[in-house]
Amino acid sequence: MLSLTPKEISDRNALTVNPAKTCQPIGAMYAALGIHRCLPHSHGSQGCCAYHRSHLTRHYKEPVMASTSSFTEGAAVFGGMSNLRQAITNIFHIYDPDVIAVHTTCLSETIGDDLSTIILKARDEGLVPEGKWVIHCNTPSYAGSHVTGFSNMTTGMVKYFAQENERHREQINLIPGYVEPSDMREIKRLLAEMELPSVVFPDTSDVLDAPQQGAPVSVGKAADIYPKGGTRIRDLQSMGDSRVTLALGPFASENAAIELENRTEIPARIMDLPIGIAATDRFIQVLLETAEVLEPPASIADDRGRMVDIMLDMQQYFYDRKVAIYGDPDQVISLTEFAVSLGMKPIYVLTGTPGKRFDARIKGILKDVVPGARIKSSGDLFLLHQWIKNEPVDLLIGNTYGKYIARAEDIPFVRFGFPILDRVGHSYFPTVGYRGGMRLLEKMLDALLDRKDRDDPEERFELVL
Ligand code: SF4
């Protein structure tokens, strides 16, 4: 399908071909689902909302709820205020959420709807029932990416819910970044192992990986449509009492942590996503400092030991292999560092999300091992394919959209990141922490060894490789 991609690379500033990102509201919708009993609301036309929901549904293989302001020509001309007011009234009446989390779309941003004012007015006029919330963030999709949208909605949570209650608690805030529900579950497990009480937000575990048990319906009562997971409002309101905020992934989580620091003086510590051995080590070290203990619990130390064991056992298959990595910036940064620690050579590293920090960070990781690596933020998969046509790689790692490149160039392919539309498992098995690292190692090694089994000549085809 992509076999006609030309090798010759020309400068393109005004055209993206096969984007390595999706649009802002998708990330905002995903973050909003991480609040308990929250209905994400798309302030724009139905088509945007349908696309965002279906993309999330196809990735998580779960129904994704969201409502829309359902713009038509009238809203495009006169603004979307009356649509949103009607939506707020209907949604609380029919679906009874605790929170409506509104995000904008390209259209409502272009019109210039002032959501803060509309929401405030709706509250003053009694359209928002007592004890219920309408929060919002701006997500113009002609800028940023789904990661920016996630960051904006997470920051919106801080703006609306953070209070200084002057009740200092022993808990910490943890913003897990744009990761899978399985990763959020694993991060919570690590916090529990370290005996660190915490508010994790957003938290999509038990929302987008909820067990299939059927909706609990009592006689005479409507089915409760909300899953059991998500961060509770009372916990979000207590974030202003915490000792520290740990934010994983600067692109997805930094803004919210800084916003909270500015409002409440709770110090923000920004870290990489704990993907791979070094980033997980740093994360555990920060948890140790926060918990004021010197050693991690034996279970965590043992997990690390097992991961190192696999790395040593299989190092020969990773060593010197050229790899191309693309996807969301926070994930790609940690994964690139992990690949280097395995002895691999990430010669192409690309994200669709804008941000010069990405280039600088990757350059820093690769400067001694692959000084000539090609690195690009705001890049697209067409460019990545052209790079690969000029110098092939042994392994391609990224979201589902890379499968066309993998097929055209016959490259082993590991699906990683967002979106993964054609496989399952990613929302159930973590890739963060040592346990997640072991899973990543397995996936990467399987891809390399399956190829070796396929391609090795008869005399080198071994039962035990
Ligand atoms: S890019 Fe803009 S118009 Fe397109 S789906 Fe996203 S929000 Fe809607």
* Beta pairing, strands 67-68 & 38-43: parallel
Beta strands in 82-189 (DSSP E): 99-104, 133-137, 172-175
Instruction: Provide the token pair at 72.
Output: 């038509």
Unique residue bearing structure tokens 């993206």: 16
Query: How much distance in Å is there from the Cα of 190 to the middle of ligand 1?
Result: 37
pLDDT score at 166: 72
Query: How much distance in Å is there from the Cα of 424 to the middle of ligand 1?
Result: 26
Residue 380 pairs in a beta bridge with 19
Q: Which residue has the CA at smallest separation from atom 7 of ligand 1? A: 105
What is the gyration radius of the CA atoms in the chain, in angstroms? Answer: 23
Query: How much distance in Å is there from the Cα of 150 to the middle of ligand 1?
Result: 15
Query: How much distance in Å is there from the Cα of 48 to the middle of ligand 1?
Result: 5
Q: Which residue has the CA at smallest separation from atom 4 of ligand 1? A: 48
Query: How much distance in Å is there from the Cα of 322 to the middle of ligand 1?
Result: 35
Query: How much distance in Å is there from the Cα of 34 to the middle of ligand 1?
Result: 22
| Cβ proximity of 129 and 100 under 8 Å | no
**Residue 158 CA: distances (Å) to CA of 104, 201, 267:** 18, 10, 14
101: three-class secondary structure by DSSP? strand
Q: Cα(57)–Cα(64) distance, rounded to whole angstroms?
A: 6
Ligand 1: residue of 24, 42, 48, 53 to mutate (most ligand atoms within 8 A of CB) is 48
Q: Cα(264)–Cα(242) distance, rounded to whole angstroms?
A: 10
350: three-class secondary structure by DSSP? strand
Q: Which residue has the CA at smallest separation from atom 2 of ligand 1? A: 106
| Cβ proximity of 200 and 176 under 8 Å | yes
**pLDDT tens, position by position, for the chain (465 residues)?**
687 899 999 989 889 999 999 999 999 999 999 999 999 999 999 999 999 999 999 999 999 999 999 999 999 889 999 999 999 999 999 999 999 999 999 999 999 999 999 999 999 999 999 999 999 999 999 999 999 999 999 999 999 999 877 778 889 999 999 999 999 999 999 999 999 999 999 999 999 998 887 655 555 555 578 999 999 999 999 999 999 999 999 999 999 999 999 999 999 999 999 999 999 999 999 999 999 999 999 999 999 999 999 999 999 999 999 999 999 999 999 999 999 999 999 999 999 999 999 999 999 999 999 999 999 999 999 999 999 999 999 999 999 999 999 999 999 999 999 999 999 999 999 999 999 999 999 999 999 999 999 999 999 998 987
Beta strands in 97-141 (DSSP E): 99-104, 133-137
| Count of C-beta atoms within a 10 Å radius of residue 192 | 11
Query: How much distance in Å is there from the Cα of 183 to the middle of ligand 1?
Result: 28
**Residue 289 CA: distances (Å) to CA of 208, 283, 293, 299:** 32, 10, 6, 18
Q: Which residue has the CA at smallest separation from atom 8 of ligand 1? A: 48
* Cα-to-chain-centroid distance, residue 156: 16
315: three-class secondary structure by DSSP? helix
136: three-class secondary structure by DSSP? strand
Alpha helices of 238-328 — where are they, by DSSP H? Answer: 250-264, 277-291, 298-318
| Cβ proximity of 23 and 146 under 8 Å | yes
Closest of 318, 279, 305 to residue 443, by C-alpha: 318
Whether residue 227 is preceded by a cis peptide bond, meaning omega within 30 degrees of 0, is: no
Q: Which residue has the CA at smallest separation from atom 5 of ligand 1? A: 48
Pocket residues: Cβ below 6 A from ligand 1: 23, 25, 48, 51, 105-106, 141
Q: Which residue has the CA at smallest separation from atom 6 of ligand 1? A: 23
Q: Cα(219)–Cα(209) distance, rounded to whole angstroms?
A: 27
pLDDT score at 220: 53
The strand order across the sheet containing 345-351 reads 374-376, 345-351, 322-327, 395-398, 413-415
**Residue 344 CA: distances (Å) to CA of 66, 367, 396, 444:** 42, 14, 12, 11
Amino acid at 21: K
Tell me the CB-side half-sphere exposure of residue 313, using CA atoms within 13 A.
Answer: 12
